[in-house]
Amino acid sequence: MNEIVLSGIRSTGNLHLGNYLGAVQNFVKMQHAGNCYFFIADYHSLTTHPTPEDHHKSVKQVLVEYLAAGIDPEISTLYIQSDVPEISELFLLLNMNAYLGELERTTSFKDKARKQPENVNAGLLTYPVLMAADILIHHADKVPVGKDQEQNLEMARKFARRYNNMYGVDYFKEPVAYNFDKELIKIPGLDGTGKMGKSEGNGIFLADDEKTIRKKIMRAVTDSGPTIENSKMSESVNNLFTILKIVSSADTVEFFTGKYKTCEIRYGDLKKQLAEDVIKIIAPINSRIKDIYSNDEYLSRVARMGAEKARTSAAKTLKEVREIIGIRKFY
Ligand code: TRP
């Protein structure tokens, strides 16, 4: 039997090169092997109270960018969480067996509560329950997520087990994390330290045009250059080389590594080359983003198709879950 792979995508912010090389590219490859469900977790985004315009815009942007990056809506089931009301109902039912103490103890809840003390809403508290509903509704086997989501996945397993025990059934499967963090190099940012993120001056986005990419890379933080042969690279220069190793040819990497070792390197040349090689990856995605973004008819077709496929699977689960619980109709 085919394994079911499922992942949720938070609809906050545009995808950057790190997201693409670290995760999205894997989703694209993965979709050919199995039964994949990818969805935009738009309910989860509401915990931060975006304006209606911002919310809708970011859901659209994420949908467009995943399509542009190569998620094929004919092969995968690509849908928007709020288009599948069965998820909300399963969330409600799972909440009956989720305990205040354990929810309060999760690291992500404690983090958020610390970061936004003025908005510690119940949605934050029950975030792992909604995530469990997302996963269990399709009986997912594998959930490709980053390290930061492992605890949420552990909770999903706990809720699945608890439901099975409570009703004496072997109904829900326990989903496992499919962690590609270990296999993959982290993509560093352009500001000299740490990984690529959304902060200003640090990231290159799939939605950036060529001019912007060149400008960002030319401005990337470096140092004053090597003066001693074979010296160790500073973090900022090492970061540029890390990206170069991923996006450029072996010859290019060897050329600039050699120049560095003999102290002949000109960071301007390195950056120019890096920019061209990054553009080779991003430009085709970028032009698809533009096309897809303005094609509302296509987007509506994709969203409808995804919702239909997802609801077929979700409705079956929910019917069985209700039956097991004893929710039976009188009419
Ligand atoms: N919490 C995930 C994140 O922040 C997004 C998400 C929501 C998710 N529901 C999910 C991921 C279900 C995997 C499976 O990235």
Q: Does the pLDDT of residue 208 top 70, yes or no?
A: yes
Q: Are strands 35-41 and 77-80 parallel, antiparallel or unpaired?
A: parallel
Catalytically annotated residue among 186, 198, 272, 316 = 198
Measured between alpha carbons, how far is 255 from 303 in angstroms, rounded to an integer?
46
Give me the domain span that covers residue 269: 210-291
Residue 37 Cα distances to 80, 110, 133, 276, angstroms: 11, 29, 14, 34
pLDDT of residue 197: 85
Domain shared by 162 and 76, yes or no: yes
Which CATH number covers residue 66? 3.40.50.620
Residue 126 falls inside a structural domain: yes
Task: Find the mean pLDDT for residues 154-178.
Answer: 97
Predicted TM-score of the model (pTM): 0.92
Q: Does the pLDDT of residue 5 top 70, yes or no?
A: yes
Q: Cβ neighbours of residue 66 under 8 Å, at least 6 residues apart?
A: 9, 15, 24, 27, 38, 40, 78
> 178 or 312: whose pLDDT is higher?
312
Question: What digits encode the pLDDT tens for the residues 26-73?
Answer: 999 999 987 999 999 999 999 999 999 999 999 999 999 999 999 999
Catalytically annotated residue among 112, 142, 216, 271 = 112
Measured between alpha carbons, how far is 196 from 247 in angstroms, rounded to an integer?
15
> 145 or 45: whose pLDDT is higher?
45
What is the helix (H) or strand (E) element at residue 58, kind and residue range? helix 52-69
> Which residue is listed with tokens 């220069």?
237
Ligand 1 atom closest to 10 (CA): 5
Task: Find the mean pLDDT for residues 246-251.
Answer: 96
* Residues 133 and 87 sit within 8 Å (Cβ to Cβ): yes
Residue 40 main-chain phi, psi, to 5 deg:
-95, 120
Mean pLDDT of the chain: 94
Residue 330 falls inside a structural domain: no
Measured between alpha carbons, how far is 183 from 18 in angstroms, rounded to an integer?
14
Q: Report whether residue 135 contacts ligand 1, using a CB cutoff of 6 Å.
A: yes
Task: Find the mean pLDDT for residues 112-138.
Answer: 97
Domain shared by 140 and 108, yes or no: yes
Active site residue 290: no
Domain shared by 169 and 309, yes or no: yes
Domain shared by 287 and 301, yes or no: no
Which CATH number covers residue 218? 1.10.240.10
pLDDT of residue 44: 95
- Provide the percentage of residues in the chain whose pLDDT is more than 70: 98
Domain shared by 126 and 173, yes or no: yes
Active site residue 186: no
Measured between alpha carbons, how far is 215 from 194 in angstroms, rounded to an integer?
20
Domain shared by 142 and 277, yes or no: no
Q: If pLDDT is split at 50, 70 and 90, which confidence band does 212 have?
A: very high
Domain shared by 259 and 311, yes or no: no
pLDDT of residue 181: 63
Residue 203 falls inside a structural domain: no
Lowest mean pLDDT among 19-23, 39-43, 239-243, 315-319: 19-23
Residue 75 falls inside a structural domain: yes
Residue 192 falls inside a structural domain: no
- Provide the percentage of residues in the chain whose pLDDT is more than 90: 87
Distance between start and end Cα atoms, the chain:
37
Question: Minimal CA–CA distance to 38: which of 69, 83, 79, 1?
Answer: 79
**Tally of structural domains, the chain:** 2
Measured between alpha carbons, how far is 244 from 228 in angstroms, rounded to an integer?
22
Domain shared by 29 and 169, yes or no: yes
Domain shared by 286 and 299, yes or no: no
Q: If pLDDT is split at 50, 70 and 90, which confidence band does 218 have?
A: very high
Domain shared by 36 and 50, yes or no: yes
Q: Report whether residue 41 contacts ligand 1, using a CB cutoff of 6 Å.
A: yes
Residue 190 falls inside a structural domain: no
Domain shared by 171 and 148, yes or no: yes
Secondary structure of residue 248 in the 3-state scheme = coil
